[in-house]
Amino acid sequence: MSKLWGGRFTKETNQLVEKFTASIEFDQKLALEDIEGSLAHVEMLGSCGIIPAEDVEQIKKGLTSIREKVLNHEVSFSVEDEDIHMNIERMLIEEIGPVGGKLHTGRSRNDQVATDMHLYLRNQTKEIIELIRFVQEAIISQAKQHVETILPGYTHLQRAQPISFAHHLLAYFWMFERDKERLQDSLKRINWSPLGAGALAGTTFPIDRQFSAKQLGFETVYPNSLDAVSDRDFILEFLSIASILMMHISRLSEELVLWSSQEFQFVELDDSFCTGSSIMPQKKNPDVPELLRGKTGRVYGNLIGLLTTLKGLPLAYNKDLQEDKEGMFDTVETLAGSLQLLAPMIETMTVKRENMYKAVSQDYSNATDLADYLAGKGIPFREAHEIIGRIVLYAIQHDKYLLDLSLGEYRNFSGAFEEDIFEVLQPKNVVAARNSYGGTGFSQVETQLNLAIEKLEK
Ligand code: ARG
C-alpha cells in the first residue's frame, strides 16, 4: 500500500520503523473526534469557497458513513497508514474516490491531532466531573446518617480530639469539590481551537478559523499558529488535576484500609468490595481501596512522563509529541474506573458507631476541654495546659481516664475545678462545644452538610 505522503520517497519504509512510529494502535480512540474535526474543517472550506459545495457534501457523506462504521466496530485500521488521521483519510478516499483528497486542504496533521486531543479531553473532563459528583453524593448519604457519630480525630495518627464522623467524611467532600472546580476551570483552556494553524505557520488558503472553532464548540482560537500545534499544556493541566484528585482518593482509601483493620474496626466494607485469601480462610481484604491507593503511582507517572517529554522540545511539532497520548488515555481510564468504584464502596460500607464511641471513651482526647475549662475560669491557657498535662500523667500512672478521676483528685491540682467538669468531659459535649464556624460541633456540621448539598444541587 503506498503512503499518503509517498511522493518524495524512493524506498519502502523499514517495517520496524513503520511499527515503531505508528500510533494507530492507541490513537484509534480518537476516531470520532477526528471525524468531528474533519466535518467542521470541510464545512469551513465550503463556506469560504475554497472547495465547491458538491465536494463538501460528498466528503461529509463519506465521513458520516465512516463514523457509522466506527460506531458499529466495522472498520479495521492498518499500521501502514500510521495513525488515525491517515487511516480515516484513506477510508474516505476509498469510500468516495479522489475528491476525498480535498479534505486535507489548508490543514496539517499537526493542527488536526491537536484538535482531536482538545475535543477528546473536553469530553472526558466533563465525564470525570460527573463521576466526582457521584462520589460526593455517596459521601453526603453517609454524612447525613453520622452527624452525631463520634470517633477520635487524629493528628500524628495519635488520638487528638473527638469529632463527628460526618465532619471527617465531609472533609473529603470539599477536596473533591476543589478537584471539580479545577477541572471546570481547565475547560476554558481546553476550549481553544488549534484548527487552521496548519503544519506550524498557518496556510495560504483564505480559511476562517473562527468558523470551524464555532462548529466544534470552542470558545476561541489560538492566536499563534506555532503555539497552537506545540501546546500540550492543556493535557499537562489535566494530568496535574488528575494527580491531585488521585491523591485525594488515595488518602481516603488509606483511611478505609486503616478503619477496616482489626486494630480500628471503625468500618466494615461490603463483602462485594472485598476479596479473600487463597491460603488464610479468615481473611477479608480491602483490595479495592488498596488498589486505588496503588494506582495513584501510575497517574503521577503519566504527569511526570509528559512533563519530561515536553521539556526541551523546540518549536513547533516534533514526533515526541505523539507520546502525549497513552499516558493521558491511561489516566482517564484509571480515574474513571477509580471514581466508579469509590462511590458505591462508600455508600455500602457499614459504620461501626459503637466501636468508634468506645475508642473516644477510652482515651485522653478530652484533655483540651479541661484546659479550655480552666482558661475559661481566667487561668492563662499556657498555665492551664501545664496543669492538665500533670493531671493526664497522674491518670495514666493510676490507670484511669479523665472521667474516672474524682473531683477531689482534680482539686488537688487546681481549686478552680467544680462538679460541672464531668459534663464538660463527656465525649458528646466535647464535640458539641467546638461550635466555631467550620468546626465539628453538631450544629456546625449540620450547616456544613447543608452547604455541601446546596453545592451539589447547583
Ligand atoms: N500521530 C501523530 C501524533 O500523534 C499525528 C501528527 C503527525 N504529524 C507529523 N508531522 N508527523 O502526534
Asked if the domains 8-105 and 110-358 are classified in one and the same CATH topology, the answer is no
Q: Give pLDDT, residue 135.
A: 98
The Cα–Cα gap between 224 and 202 comes to: 9
The grid coordinates of residue 449 equal 452538610
CA 184 / ligand 1 centre spacing (Å): 28
The Cα–Cα gap between 212 and 214 comes to: 5
Q: Is the CB of 113 under 6 A from ligand 1?
A: yes
Q: Give pLDDT, residue 116.
A: 98
Q: Which residues contact 321 (CB under 8 A, 6 or more apart)?
A: 113, 230, 232, 309, 313
User: 316: cis peptide before it, omega within 30°?
Assistant: yes
CA 319 / ligand 1 centre spacing (Å): 6
CA 315 / ligand 1 centre spacing (Å): 14
State yes or no: pLDDT of 376 exceeds 90.
Answer: yes
Mean pLDDT of 168-184: 98
CA 3 / ligand 1 centre spacing (Å): 14
Ligand 1, atom 1: closest residue by C-alpha: 83
Q: Which atom of ligand 1 is nearest to the CA of 84?
A: 1
Q: Which fold has domain 361-457?
A: Ribonucleotide Reductase Protein R1; domain 1 (1.10.40)
* Residue range 392-443, pLDDT digits in tens: 999 999 999 999 999 999 999 999 999 999 999 999 999 999 999 999 999 9
CA 68 / ligand 1 centre spacing (Å): 25
User: What is the chain's length?
Assistant: 458
Average pLDDT, the chain: 97
CA 221 / ligand 1 centre spacing (Å): 20
The Cα–Cα gap between 52 and 82 comes to: 29
Which residue among 29, 104, 110, 325 has the greatest number of ligand 1 atoms within 8 angstroms of its CB, and so is best to mutate?
Answer: 110
Which residue among 17, 20, 313, 322 has the greatest number of ligand 1 atoms within 8 angstroms of its CB, and so is best to mutate?
Answer: 322
Q: Is the CB of 23 under 6 A from ligand 1?
A: yes
Q: Give pLDDT, residue 64.
A: 98
Which residue among 86, 116, 319, 325 has the greatest number of ligand 1 atoms within 8 angstroms of its CB, and so is best to mutate?
Answer: 319
Mean pLDDT of 117-125: 98
Q: Give pLDDT, residue 458.
A: 84
CB 391 within 8 A of CB 414: no
Q: Give pLDDT, residue 283.
A: 83
Q: Is the domain 8-105 a CATH 1.20.1440.230 member?
A: no
Q: Is the CB of 109 under 6 A from ligand 1?
A: yes
- Banded model confidence at residue 281, pLDDT cuts 50, 70, 90: confident
State yes or no: pLDDT of 112 exceeds 90.
Answer: yes
Q: Is the CB of 90 under 6 A from ligand 1?
A: no
* Residue range 240-278, pLDDT digits in tens: 999 999 999 999 999 999 999 999 999 999 999 988 888
The Cα–Cα gap between 275 and 271 comes to: 8
Mean pLDDT of 358-366: 93
Q: Is the CB of 83 under 6 A from ligand 1?
A: yes
Q: Which atom of ligand 1 is nearest to the CA of 23?
A: 1
CB 143 within 8 A of CB 448: no
* Residue range 62-91, pLDDT digits in tens: 999 999 999 999 999 999 999 999 999 999
Three-state SS string across the chain, please? CCCCCHHHCCCCCCHHHHHHHCCHHHHHHHHHHHHHHHHHHHHHHHHCCCCCHHHHHHHHHHHHHHHHHHHCCCCCCCHHHCCHHHHHHHHHHHHHCHHHHHCCCCCCHHHHHHHHHHHHHHHHHHHHHHHHHHHHHHHHHHHHHCCCCEEEEEECCEEEEEEEHHHHHHHHHHHHHHHHHHHHHHHHHHCEECCCCCCCCCCCCCCCHHHHHHHCCCCEECCCHHHHHHCCHHHHHHHHHHHHHHHHHHHHHHHHHHHCCCCCCCEECCHHHCECCCCCCCCCECHHHHHHHHHHHHHHHHHHHHHHHHCCCCCCCCHHHHHHHHHHHHHHHHHHHHHHHHHHHHHHCEECHHHHHHHHHCCCCCHHHHHHHHHHCCCCHHHHHHHHHHHHHHHHHCCCCHHHCCHHHHHHHCCCCCCCHHHHCCHHHHHHCCCCCCCCCHHHHHHHHHHHHHHHHC
The Cα–Cα gap between 135 and 347 comes to: 9
State yes or no: pLDDT of 159 exceeds 80.
Answer: yes
Q: Give pLDDT, residue 282.
A: 87
Mean pLDDT of 109-118: 98
Q: Is the CB of 317 under 6 A from ligand 1?
A: yes
The Cα–Cα gap between 339 and 252 comes to: 12
Mean pLDDT of 350-379: 95
Q: Give pLDDT, residue 450.
A: 98
CA 31 / ligand 1 centre spacing (Å): 14
52 φ/ψ sector (left φ>0, alpha ψ -120 to 50, else beta): beta
If one looks up domain 110-358 in CATH, what number appears? 1.20.200.10
Question: Taking the model in full, what pTM does it have?
Answer: 0.95
Q: Is the CB of 322 under 6 A from ligand 1?
A: yes
Q: Which atom of ligand 1 is nearest to the CA of 82?
A: 1
CA 38 / ligand 1 centre spacing (Å): 16
State yes or no: pLDDT of 280 exceeds 90.
Answer: no
The phi and psi torsions of 283 (rounded to 5 degrees) equal -75, 140
- Banded model confidence at residue 303, pLDDT cuts 50, 70, 90: very high
Q: Is the ipTM of this complex over 0.90?
A: yes
Domain-wise residue ranges, the chain: 8-105, 110-358, 361-457
Q: Give pLDDT, residue 2.
A: 81
Which active-site residues does the annotation give?
156, 277
Q: Which residue has the cell 464545512?
A: 43
Mean pLDDT of 353-359: 97
What is the number of other CB atoms lying within 10 angstroms of the CB of residue 192?
20
Q: Which atom of ligand 1 is nearest to the CA of 317?
A: 10
Q: Is the CB of 232 under 6 A from ligand 1?
A: no
The grid coordinates of residue 14 equal 523499514
State yes or no: pLDDT of 1 exceeds 90.
Answer: no
Q: Is the CB of 193 under 6 A from ligand 1?
A: no
Q: Is the CB of 230 under 6 A from ligand 1?
A: no
Mean pLDDT of 202-208: 98
Q: Is the CB of 88 under 6 A from ligand 1?
A: no
Q: Is the CB of 120 under 6 A from ligand 1?
A: no
